[in-house]
Structure 1
């Protein structure tokens, strides 16, 4: 697991497109995230090829909140725990930041049980609460899109500074 470089953006875009689950953003967006938000993103490489990634950013108004936008794992590497390890690495790395991450937020459609399991397992590993509430309803989107409820995980007792 490592913070991405701009050179990983194309691979991230490829993995997202092949996922069959994610809303595919422009290739430019993945390049920008890999460059400008590397601290809050992770990639997993096999033989220098991107096989998984997490895109995240700190919310400007609430910098102790890490919003995880996308998580994707190449089909050939699913089931190996890469997504969970990338999330764990991101949270662990935040412990030395000021402020440390107090909450991880993401949105997950109701039919995406794989992501729901991923984040429930993440919350359990970190001994944190997982709360779900409304955020973006289907009618909020200009195209056909399911509602995206907010999943908020935290606080993280293991990161509390004494």
Structure 2
């Protein structure tokens, strides 16, 4: 399997980095490791652990819910926007299928977006510029404005 990772200098682009992952379970820990490794030099003030947790949930959702008749990948990109960090996770699923659920206590699944909602300062689902879905989250006060 081939995975790609791109880093971008902060002064040239608001995009700090990007990775392309295969839609397999092993991509979830890979996304956590790569994000942690490549965001650390930018020294964000927000919790990298919280970001990694949210990325883990969104990549898991992309693996589980992404669908295409063609071979596909998951794209993760992270951006500096003023003092905020914005992370996007793209997959070929349908944006209208992204919804926060209220699972019963004995439900085994359905808490991912509840967790995203409670950890991130904001999150949003929409149509991806690559086709399919993008779910993004923002961590405010990641850097001085």
Please, what TM-score do these two structures have when normalized by structure 1?
0.28
Structure with the larger helix share: 1
Please, what TM-score do these two structures have when normalized by structure 2?
0.30
Structure possessing the higher relative contact order (Cα contacts under 8 Å, 6 or more residues apart): 2
